[in-house]
Amino acid sequence: MTRVNKFYWDSETINYYVEYNYLNGWASTALRIYEYVADECDWDGEEDFRSLYSDLLNQVEEKVL
């Protein structure tokens, strides 16, 4: 069984990346989200970083779709 983390992201953060995606495309948005998680979020270890990045990416993608 795979454990899936779900984090709370401020709606302004998600909406920012949704709008960014409309203007710049998905590849650029994914990179910008990666940079945001790396630079602005508190994470402890590679697994935590991946969980945060994946969760924010998925929540933005859900809203885009």
Interatomic CA distance for residues 34 and 13, integer angstroms = 13
Is residue 43 within 8 Å of 52, Cβ to Cβ? Answer: yes
Domain boundaries along the sequence of the chain: 11-64
Residue written as token pair 């590849």: 27
Q: What is the mean pLDDT of residues 47-62?
A: 94
In this prediction, residue 1 carries a pLDDT of 44
Lowest-confidence region among 13-22, 25-34, 39-48, 51-60? 39-48
Distance CA 50, CA 15 (A): 21
* Residue with the two structure tokens 């709370």: 8
- Token representation of residue 12: 């302004």
pLDDT in tens, 18-34: 999 999 999 999 999 99
Q: Write down the pLDDT at residue 44.
A: 87
